């Protein structure tokens, strides 16, 4: 039956109502979540042959990746810091980038070479938080490394912590040492970065990755900040950056943090690198003519406390240094104490001290005097001025300052003050119980050396430690290991006088403090002859061969063109093959090795690039001296 028009209207109306009711009863369709923004990445490329740094912003969190020759050195690693008023580690927005090229030439009295060239690309990445606070990430890439630092143009309160960390590939090996305030604990080799025990480690950590070696360090550390350590959780390939004692960094105004550095390349590139110096500020001393490195006879291990209180004993040491043509003698603790007392300062030390007489006596023989001071004598500005001005007036050449044992912001401020004042009084400096250089020697070239190592006077060294130091601590700057203590029964190479002799070259120090007794040198004429020829500094450094923690052989070029070579080896006695990477042509190489009756010197004529086979005893080493060969030449003596 056909539907009438009125009936059709009723049916349509009813259907519309039912449809509306059904539609209302259905749940609303959920909107699809907004897809996260794709990570933004920016590459920073340095001069030819440099690694590549990749800065990435992923969901507001910045990271850094380092690659070399297409291989990974550093996996994406967190960046950023947190202050009292702002979190610069997340929810960041990229606002811009600027680039510049850095080409610098500078000279430095100490270190692996006197003349330096720094070539780097610098990129400044600008980020903002949701509240509008600005963080700049400054990144530099050089042929031997990548570095970054943070710049806060505004005042955002004290720094609470850093989000910075270094994440390594799972297969990376590690040579690292536990952190202690004096930086003296031994380095241990681990087959993987994740396998190291949970704990806090020094910022002088070496890792071997698919992309080459990577040494983590820092540069340009001053009193505006505090020293950093690496914190490691068990079974993790990530090493975070923590600040001294987790104390806040006091900030007033803008802030520029120290550089976090990754020195990277093959093992020779890392070992020979001057990257931490290259990143540091230029010298603050205009006239450095009074800054003169060189070997010194250090009398502490040679004569102990008694020598420190004896003018006559010190004169004998001066005589011995003069006979060897060593430019310095170092008087250690005791000289300003009351006679017979070992911890009581003579209140009339300025008038009672025999030091002026010793200085005059030494000067007449061409020997300069360095003296030991406990750092607490130099904490008060007025007292510091009294001590330093008096020493300058007496003619003392340098000071060995001891027992700082802290990298707190307060102690770093003290370093700033002490460096400025010792420079003003033209006193060279050796810091013991100290931080490690971290670029200090470029900014303050009167710093000859720093301890920051468990040196010859310690009893916990091993042969493996001797073979780790050239690739870790000594890469960063001068290291006062005080080699040459042949009389010490506790040295790990006690059966290898040749290995002990080689340490005088293997370890670089602006003042190479030789720690043996005159009697021990006289009993080893070949060692004495070699030490008498040590130069005042080096023009070039080359790694000849090595395996961190197992072996190391370095060659250092003297100003007269001769190469001094030192090698150390952990493990069984064997013959070792050493590439002679000294340059083209013929060379006369005089090796000093351990024989059945003492040290043996033997000449070899080799071509540059040849391999020289050298015998070493168990946990031993050797020393060598190389010069250009000419017909009839049989020795490299100057």
CA distance 66 to 370: 44
Q: Cβ distance 496 to 619 under 8 Å?
A: yes
Work out the average pLDDT over 80-108. Answer: 98
Six token digits for residue 17: 């109502």
pLDDT number for residue 35: 54
Other CB atoms closer than 10 Å to residue 48's CB: what's the count?
7
- pLDDT at 19 > cutoff 70: no
* CB neighbour list of residue 253: distance below 8 Å, 6 or more residues apart: 155
Q: Cβ distance 159 to 146 under 8 Å?
A: no
Q: Is residue 503 part of a domain?
A: no
pLDDT number for residue 38: 76
Q: pLDDT tens digits, residue range 182-223?
A: 999 999 999 999 999 999 999 999 999 999 999 999 999 999
Structural domain total, the chain = 1
- pLDDT at 10 > cutoff 70: no
Q: Is residue 571 part of a domain?
A: no
Q: Cβ distance 383 to 377 under 8 Å?
A: yes
Q: Is residue 146 part of a domain?
A: yes
CA distance 38 to 76: 15
Q: Tokens 């059945």 belong to which residue?
A: 596
For residue 613, which phi and psi values (nearest 5 degrees)? Answer: -95, 125
Query: Among residues 230, 232, 234, which one has the least CA distance to residue 216?
Result: 230
How would DSSP label each residue in 385-411?
HHHHHHHHHHT--EEEEE-----SHHH
- pLDDT at 252 > cutoff 60: yes
Work out the average pLDDT over 346-355. Answer: 95
- pLDDT at 524 > cutoff 80: yes
CA distance 504 to 133: 52
Q: The domain that contains 163 carries what CATH number?
A: 2.70.98.10
Q: Is residue 455 part of a domain?
A: no
The catalytic position among 90, 405, 457, 547 is 457
Mean pLDDT, the chain, whole residue set: 94
Q: Is residue 123 part of a domain?
A: yes
Q: pLDDT tens digits, residue range 402-448?
A: 999 999 999 999 999 999 999 999 999 999 999 999 999 999 999 99
- pLDDT at 636 > cutoff 90: yes
6: enclosing H helix or E strand: helix 5-25
Q: Is residue 630 part of a domain?
A: no
CA distance 258 to 147: 10
- pLDDT at 382 > cutoff 50: yes
Stronger pLDDT, 362 or 48, i.e. the higher one:
362
CA distance 242 to 159: 12
Give the domain range for residue 101.
40-279
- What 8-state DSSP symbol labels residue 337? B
Q: Is residue 256 part of a domain?
A: yes
Q: Cβ distance 437 to 478 under 8 Å?
A: yes
Six token digits for residue 398: 């340098």
Q: Is 601 helix (H, G, I), strand (E, B) or coil?
A: strand
CA distance 214 to 175: 10
- Is-catalytic flag, 480? no
- Is-catalytic flag, 402? yes
Stronger pLDDT, 18 or 31, i.e. the higher one:
31
- pLDDT at 7 > cutoff 90: no
Q: Is residue 52 part of a domain?
A: yes
- pLDDT at 33 > cutoff 70: no
- pLDDT at 34 > cutoff 70: no
The catalytic position among 182, 402, 407, 497 is 402
Stronger pLDDT, 11 or 107, i.e. the higher one:
107
- pLDDT at 81 > cutoff 90: yes
- pLDDT at 361 > cutoff 90: yes
pLDDT number for residue 14: 32
């Amino acid at each position: 039956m056909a539907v009438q028009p009125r009936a059709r209207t009723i049916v349509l109306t009813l259907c519309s109502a039912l449809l509306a009711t059904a539609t209302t009863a259905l749940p609303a369709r959920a909107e699809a979540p907004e897809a996260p923004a794709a990570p933004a990445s920016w590459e920073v490329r340095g001069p030819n042959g440099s690694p590549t740094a990749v800065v990435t912003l992923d969901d507001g969190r910045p990271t850094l990746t380092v690659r070399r020759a297409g291989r990974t050195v550093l996996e994406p690693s967190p960046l950023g810091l947190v202050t009292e008023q702002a979190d610069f580690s997340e929810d960041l927005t990229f606002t811009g980038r600027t680039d510049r090229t850095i080409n610098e030439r500078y000279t430095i009295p100490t270190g692996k070479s006197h003349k330096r060239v720094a070539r780097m690309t610098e990129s400044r990445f600008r980020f903002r938080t949701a509240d509008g606070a600005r963080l700049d990430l400054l990144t530099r890439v050089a042929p031997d490394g990548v570095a970054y630092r943070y710049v806060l143009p505004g005042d955002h309160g004290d720094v609470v912590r850093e989000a910075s960390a270094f994440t390594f590939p799972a297969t990376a090996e590690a040579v690292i040492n536990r952190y202690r305030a004096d930086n003296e604990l031994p380095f241990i080799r681990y087959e993987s970065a994740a396998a190291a025990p949970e704990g806090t480690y020094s910022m002088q950590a070496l890792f071997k990755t698919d992309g080459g070696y990577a040494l983590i360090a820092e540069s340009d550390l001053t009193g505006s900040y505090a020293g950093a350590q690496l914190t490691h959780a068990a079974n993790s390939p990530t090493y975070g950056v923590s600040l001294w004692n987790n104390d806040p960094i006091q900030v007033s105004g803008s802030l520029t943090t120290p550089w976090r550095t990754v020195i990277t390349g093959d093992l020779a590139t890392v070992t020979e690198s001057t990257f931490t110096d290259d990143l540091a500020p230029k010298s603050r001393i205009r006239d450095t003519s009074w800054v003169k490195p060189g070997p010194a006879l250090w009398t502490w291990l040679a004569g102990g406390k008694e020598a420190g209180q004896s003018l006559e004993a010190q004169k004998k040491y001066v005589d011995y240094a003069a006979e060897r043509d060593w430019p310095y003698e170092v008087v250690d603790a005791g000289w300003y104490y009351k006679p017979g007392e070992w911890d009581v300062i003579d209140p009339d030390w300025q008038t009672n001290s025999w030091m002026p007489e010793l200085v005059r006596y030494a000067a007449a023989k061409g020997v300069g005097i360095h003296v030991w001071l406990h750092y607490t004598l130099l904490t008060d500005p007025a007292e510091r001025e009294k001590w330093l001005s008096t020493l300058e007036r007496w003619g003392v050449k340098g000071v060995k300052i001891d027992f700082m044992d802290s990298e707190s912001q307060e102690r770093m401020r003290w370093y700033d003050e002490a460096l400025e004042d010792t420079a003003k009084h033209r006193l060279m400096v050796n810091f013991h119980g100290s931080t490690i250089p971290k670029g200090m020697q470029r900014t303050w070239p009167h710093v000859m050396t720093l301890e920051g190592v468990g040196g010859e006077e310690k009893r916990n060294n091993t042969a493996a430690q001797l073979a780790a130091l050239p690739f870790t601590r000594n890469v960063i700057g001068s290291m006062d290991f005080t080699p040459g203590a042949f009389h010490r029964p506790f040295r790990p190479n006690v059966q290898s006088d040749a290995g002990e002799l080689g340490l005088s070259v293997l370890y670089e120090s602006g003042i190479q403090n030789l720690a043996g007794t005159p009697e021990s040198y006289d009993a080893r004429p070949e060692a004495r002859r070699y030490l008498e020829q040590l130069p005042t500094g080096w023009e070039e450094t080359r790694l000849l061969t090595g395996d961190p923690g197992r072996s190391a052989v370095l060659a250092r070029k003297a100003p007269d063109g001769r190469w001094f070579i030192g090698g150390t080896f952990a493990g069984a006695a064997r013959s070792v093959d050493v590439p002679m990477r000294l340059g083209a042509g013929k060379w006369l190489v005089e090796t000093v090795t351990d024989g059945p009756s003492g040290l043996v010197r033997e000449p070899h004529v080799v071509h540059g690039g040849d391999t020289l086979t050298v015998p070493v005893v168990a946990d031993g080493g050797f020393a060598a001296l190389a010069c250009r060969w000419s017909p009839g030449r049989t020795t490299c003596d100057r």
